Structures are given as structure tokens and as C-alpha cells.
């Protein structure tokens, strides 16, 4: 069920107020993680596997310190795999190729959906 014109105007006004009044919240919600760093993922996975092996080896030889080190390696590897990607490289690449466009480069999923919605509404109005 499409929104009426009044509801659309109210929604747009609420969005504008949110962007103006709560910039920190908007930045937190709409921020991108960036491209995944596959090198860090592979290194983290190898560390986690090495950690499991060290943990098992520590249990086999009955040396708790080896097990603790193995657990630390495992934890470090998992944290490395789950760490967020760097957004620095992904945000600047599309901007270089789109110099003819007057619109700013949008990076969040919500902005993309909003832009698609606006285009659909413009096409319906014509």
C-alpha cells in the first residue's frame, strides 16, 4: 500500500529532522563496514586453527601453559576474522570515477534505498 502525499511529506520531514538533530546516531546506523580484508581473514583463520592445535597439544602433553597460549591464539584469530573492514579505500574509489555527477556519493544502504524510492516516486508523478 503506497503512502499518501501527506504521509510522504511527514516521513521526509522526520528524516530531515533526524539528520539535523542526531548526527551521531545517523553516522552510527548508516556507517558502512567497508570492503573485507581477505588477508586478515586468512591470517585470522590460520591463527585460530593453530590455536586449536596448540590447545589440543597442551591437553595431550598435560601442560596447561601450552593450552592457555593455544586458547589465546584461537581467540586472537577469531577476533581478527571478525574485525570490521577498513572503509577508507572503498569510499574514495567511486568518487574518482563520478566527477560528472552533481550528487554527493552516498555510502549507506539506507541512502541507496531512499534514492531508489525517490526515483520511483518521480517516475510515477510524471
pLDDT tens digits for range 62-82: 999 999 999 999 999 999 988
Could you tell me the residue range of the domain that residue 53 belongs to? 45-81
| 59 within a domain of the structure (yes/no) | yes
Count the Cβ atoms, other than its own, within 10 Å of residue 45: 14
Rg of the chain taking only CA atoms, in angstroms: 24
Is 66 inside a domain boundary?
yes
What's the pLDDT tens digit per position in 3-35?
A: 788 888 888 888 887 777 776 666 666 655 567
Counted domains in the chain: 1
Angle between helices 64-82 and 38-60 (to 10 degrees): 160
What is the per-residue pLDDT across 45-61, written as a single tens digit (0 to 9) for each? Answer: 999 999 999 999 999 99
Residue 49, SS3? helix
Q: Which helix (H) or strand (E) holds 43?
A: helix 38-60
Q: What is the pLDDT of residue 33?
A: 56
Q: In the predicted model, is pLDDT for residue 96 greater than 50?
A: no
Does any domain span residue 74? yes
Q: Which residue has the cell 546516531?
A: 25
What pLDDT score was predicted for residue 36?
77
**Which is higher by pLDDT, 43 or 91?**
43
- 108 domain residue, yes or no: no
Other CB atoms within a 10 A radius of the CB of residue 68 amount to: 13
What is the reported pLDDT for 99? 44
Whether the Cβ atoms of residue 74 and residue 46 lie closer than 8 Å to each other: no
For residue 71, the model assigns a pLDDT of: 94
pLDDT > 70? residue 93: no
Amino acid at each position: 500500500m503506497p503512502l499518501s502525499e501527506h504521509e510522504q511529506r511527514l516521513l521526509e520531514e522526520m528524516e530531515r529532522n533526524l539528520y539535523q538533530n542526531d548526527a551521531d546516531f545517523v553516522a552510527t546506523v548508516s556507517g558502512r563496514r567497508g570492503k573485507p580484508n581477505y588477508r586478515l581473514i586468512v591470517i585470522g583463520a590460520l591463527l585460530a586453527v593453530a590455536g586449536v592445535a596448540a590447545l589440543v597439544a597442551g591437553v595431550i602433553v598435560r601442560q596447561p601453559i601450552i593450552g592457555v597460549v593455544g586458547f589465546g591464539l584461537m581467540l586472537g584469530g577469531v577476533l581478527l576474522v571478525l574485525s570490521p573492514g577498513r572503509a577508507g579505500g572503498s569510499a574514495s574509489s567511486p568518487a574518482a570515477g563520478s566527477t560528472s555527477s552533481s550528487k554527493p556519493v552516498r555510502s549507506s544502504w539506507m541512502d541507496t534505498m531512499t534514492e531508489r524510492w525517490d526515483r520511483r516516486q518521480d517516475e510515477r508523478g510524471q
